[in-house]
Amino acid sequence: MTVETLQTKLEKSNEANTILCKKNHALDMHLSHSQGQQERAVAKVRDEALNLELKEKGVVKDRIRNAAIRLLHLGVPTENVNSVIECVAEVAGMPVKESMSSWTVRHVIKEGGVAVQLQIAEAVKESNSITLSGDGTTHKNVNSTNHTAQKQLEGLQDQISSICVMYNEMVGSSHEKVDARSFPLKLQGICTDHAADQKLLVELLKDWKIKTDREVRGDEKLLSLPPEQFKAVLSMAYKADIEAMGGLDTWNALPESEQSSCKTGKYQELCLKLGQEIFKRLKPEEQEDSDRLVRVGCCMHKELNSIKGGTAEMQTAWDKLGLEGPMKYFNKDNSATFQVGDGVSKTRAADASQSGAIKLTSLAGSLFNHKDDKKGHQGSLVIFFEGKLGHSVRFQDTSNTRYQSHCEAAAELLVHREIYLAFLEEIKEKKENCTLNNMELNVYQDLQDLPTLSELTVLALFANTVSHPYMCRIRSPDQQTTNALDLGPLHSEVLSFMQCIIEDPDIILGEAVTEESASFDKKVWDQSEVFSSIMELKKTLPYLWELLVAFFAGAAVTWKRFTSEYETGGVIEKLSLEKRLQAWMLSTNDINEGALGSYRVTMRQAPNMTEETYNASTMSKMNGTLTWMEETCTPKDRASLHRKAREIDEQHLEKKRQKIQAEYNAEVVCKKREQDAVKKAKKDATTAKILTIIPIKTVEELEKKKPIVSELDIQLDWYRQVPGHSIPKKSVLGRKQLKIEALKSVIEHFKMQGFFYPGQGQVPDFSMVKNGTADKVEGCSNGN
């Protein structure tokens, strides 16, 4: 073995020894620090367990974001979310590290708004059928620009398109994309109120559904063609358009965006044409299934409008029976005028004043439960009833919009009438001058007016025999499983019951009647004390039977009109059980009514909250979006939500919305001014024409002259200036004989009031009663 070999081995041994020494040193160092590391690790775990860290690397953790959303859903104000988290953590003995600003909380809400749109898009993609419901309201006297049926449709289309685009951008790469056209294709039904704009909206939605169906059928057919054939079809279609524009040179001169728009429009036109041809080849039942869109009206509105119809008919019944109706409710000015004024002034005051049970319940609501808690006697009323009955009573909230509140108020006034009279007397005695104000006096007097009490009784009877049983059926505990499309038989039963009462009111008012026999559902009344009160009071009420028949007759007519979707041979009746399930809808529109009411309350509590923030919070709460996020969203998805929410925040949507609203308001004002100018010009022309005629002064003169229709119209226009006599509109007086009768009536009224006729070219002034001769020209003003 040579020296060189030994030297090499020695070097390798030294090198290995050095490495071993280093490792040994490292092990020694690790051993010496291991106890400290262990202590620090234990301390870290203990720290994490005993402290609540809101952030990780400066970003609020997802579970903390979830907690913030939950707190917001529970009604915690944005600026208090962090304080609530700290308070709860303190009780749990967990100090909070760092904090969550109100700006971050608002941002978290918007993340929930993004998530709920993804959730909706996924639901649209996965569902077999879709139904729609909606309602509208004003807030702070602001009407949305999406108020007309066409605007509502455009708003819905924009929403669906925006949701689908967002979904495809954010998760389309990892999930199947959603086509916005699938929404109208799957749309099977819509539940709304019975307003004309909503009925028109249904027609527009159906047109959208049909057009989309044809377009999709044509699109699928074109895309199924071989590539060469597909190109040939498009080329031929584009060529025809290019030639129609003036040739290839004209086409090439167009901007690229306009060329693209023309191609898109032509492709859609081609799809529609081809889709219509395919549709015509389908079987009739397949065509019907494809185009079906069922409309159903909210059952709450059916009941509400039937009461309106019944009330209107009951009020006209007094005149038809030739009887003096309920006493008038005069406001402060009209009350003084009616007491000391002349004949015409009294007539004006009476015509301008209302009467009847509904007016009484409205005034009573303002007195006993005013919507402004600074007004009304609701506090004193609770104490008074506590002393009289041993329990408090809260009067119905008729000063706000509340379903059935007027009927419930009528029943309450009947049952506790004597107590309310005593309460008003106590109010009077407590005042220094011992007098009731005008509203209090009106209510006090009307609670003793028999015609008004008769109307109150009719309202209470309808509520307990029809409204309550009907509401129990449509708003039962299993309402969430009740399909509105299955309620046709129920509405027929209600109508049959109304017709039975019209034919025989003793079913409700007879001597042998019971609560069960008088009720639509043959069950005990919700308010047995109302039954007892009415049975005692009915003998003292004039014409109660006639009023009851009139009310039920008006309610039945309205009921038929508002339940027309269930008519025999209609769309709903023809649907099979399977088709009804596809178009399943709730029986009422409560979900939208409640959401709009909550919006108004929320905006009162948080007036600076944007519409975007409110929508994000409410939608995520109603749709259970937080649970959906926890089950489906990965950390990567949550990061995408953060980014998208920031992008949306940077768009300043609320500012843009307010700008659009301001432009819309300005447009409305401009149109209103134009309409007012047209009306004024028309009115001035009519006034100028009136000045050129001599009015017909007697019925004999009218019969002798035999004026034509145009002459009758101008005569009626002249007499429309006469106070105390209402001439129907021209649209009502369609036939000549009706115009003649109206003219005769106002001529007689003119004569009875002692007015005098001015000369030609003079405008009559009826501010004073003219009982003298025609030489009292101070009552006329020269038209020139």
Q: Residues 505-537: pLDDT tens digits?
A: 999 998 888 988 888 888 888 888 999 999 989
In this structure, are residues 188 and 294 in contact, taking their beta carbons and an 8 Å threshold? yes
CA distances for 376 relative to 283, 383, 399, angstroms: 66, 14, 11
Q: Residue 144: inside a domain, yes or no?
A: no
Ordered alpha helix ranges (H), 321-377: 332-340, 343-351, 357-368
Q: Are residues 488 and 470 in the same domain?
A: yes
Q: How confident is the model at residue 777 (pLDDT cuts 50, 70, 90)?
A: very low
Q: Are residues 526 and 564 in the same domain?
A: yes
Region of residue 98 (phi > 0: left; psi between -120 and 50: alpha; otherwise: beta): left
User: Across-strand partners of 97?
Assistant: 53
Q: Are residues 278 and 319 in the same domain?
A: no
> Residue 293 pLDDT > 50, yes or no?
yes
Q: Residue 436: inside a domain, yes or no?
A: yes
Q: Are residues 440 and 359 in the same domain?
A: yes
Q: Are residues 338 and 313 in the same domain?
A: no
Q: Hey, what amino acid is at 597?
A: G
Q: Which of 588, 620, 641 is the last residue of a domain?
A: 588
Q: Are residues 317 and 333 in the same domain?
A: no
> Residue 458 pLDDT > 90, yes or no?
yes
> Residue 212 pLDDT > 90, yes or no?
yes
Q: Residue 71: inside a domain, yes or no?
A: no
pLDDT at 716: 85
Q: Residue 100: inside a domain, yes or no?
A: no
Q: Are residues 385 and 473 in the same domain?
A: no
Closest CA to 205 of 145, 270, 160: 160
How much is the average pLDDT of 91-109? 88
pLDDT at 339: 53
262-276, 338-352, 604-618, range with greatest mean pLDDT: 262-276
Q: Residue 312: inside a domain, yes or no?
A: yes
Measured distance CA(94)–CA(90) in Å, rounded? 6
How much is the average pLDDT of 691-695? 79
Ordered alpha helix ranges (H), 127-193: 149-171, 182-186
Q: Which of 588, 618, 652 is the last residue of a domain?
A: 588
Which structural domain range is residue 258 located in? 211-283
How much is the average pLDDT of 565-580? 91
Q: Are residues 394 and 331 in the same domain?
A: yes
Number of domains, the chain: 5
pLDDT, one tens digit per residue, over 141-175 is 555 665 788 888 988 999 999 999 999 998 877 78
Q: Residue 245: inside a domain, yes or no?
A: yes
Q: Is 267 helix (H, G, I), strand (E, B) or coil?
A: helix
**Residue 690 CA to its chain's centroid (Å):** 45
Q: How confident is the model at residue 781 (pLDDT cuts 50, 70, 90)?
A: very low
Closest CA to 426 of 417, 416, 436: 436
Q: Are residues 420 and 496 in the same domain?
A: no
Instruction: Strand 130-133: give its sheet, edge to edge.
Output: 130-133, 187-192, 294-297
Whole-number mean pLDDT of the chain? 84
Q: How confident is the model at residue 761 (pLDDT cuts 50, 70, 90)?
A: low
pLDDT at 337: 52
Q: How confident is the model at residue 770 (pLDDT cuts 50, 70, 90)?
A: very low
Q: Are residues 582 and 468 in the same domain?
A: yes
- Half-sphere exposure for 782 (CA within 13 Å, toward CB): 1
How much is the average pLDDT of 338-343? 50
Which phi and psi (to 5°) does residue 731 adopt?
-65, -25
The count of other CB atoms within 10 Å of the CB of residue 274 is 19
The count of other CB atoms within 10 Å of the CB of residue 423 is 21
How much is the average pLDDT of 562-568? 92
Q: Are residues 332 and 252 in the same domain?
A: no
Q: Are residues 478 and 559 in the same domain?
A: yes
Out of 124-133, 179-188, 434-443, which region has the weakest mean confidence (pLDDT)? 434-443
pLDDT at 208: 96
Residues in the chain: 784
pLDDT at 764: 59
Measured distance CA(48)–CA(38) in Å, rounded? 15
Residue 521: which residues within 8 A CB-CB, separation 6 or more? 469, 472, 473
pLDDT at 141: 55
Share of the chain above pLDDT 70, in %: 88
pLDDT at 603: 81
First and final CA of the chain: distance in angstroms?
Answer: 145
48-52, 386-390, 467-471, 708-712, range with greatest mean pLDDT: 467-471
The count of other CB atoms within 10 Å of the CB of residue 81 is 25
The sign one gets for the Cα dihedral 691, 697, 701, 703 is: positive
Token pair recorded at residue 180: 């916005």
Token pair recorded at residue 782: 């020269």
Q: Residue 481: inside a domain, yes or no?
A: yes
Q: Residue 728: inside a domain, yes or no?
A: yes
pLDDT at 321: 87
Please report, to the nearest 10 degrees, the dihedral formed by the alpha carbons of residues 248, 253, 259, 265 taken in order: -70
In this structure, are residues 724 and 767 in contact, taking their beta carbons and an 8 Å threshold? no
> Residue 782 pLDDT > 80, yes or no?
no
> Residue 765 pLDDT > 70, yes or no?
no
pTM of this prediction exceeds 0.75: yes
Residue 704: which residues within 8 A CB-CB, separation 6 or more? none
Measured distance CA(530)–CA(656) in Å, rounded? 55
Q: Which of 588, 609, 625 is the last residue of a domain?
A: 588
Q: Is 128 helix (H, G, I), strand (E, B) or coil?
A: coil
521-535, 550-564, 606-620, 626-640, range with greatest mean pLDDT: 550-564
Token pair recorded at residue 426: 């106590």
Instruction: Enumerate helices (H) and strands (E) in the chain, giving the number of each.
Output: 36, 11
Share of the chain above pLDDT 90, in %: 38
Beta strand extents in 42-160 (DSSP E only)? 52-53, 55-56, 59-60, 96-97, 130-133
Which phi and psi (to 5°) does residue 738 adopt?
-65, -40
How much is the average pLDDT of 467-496? 88
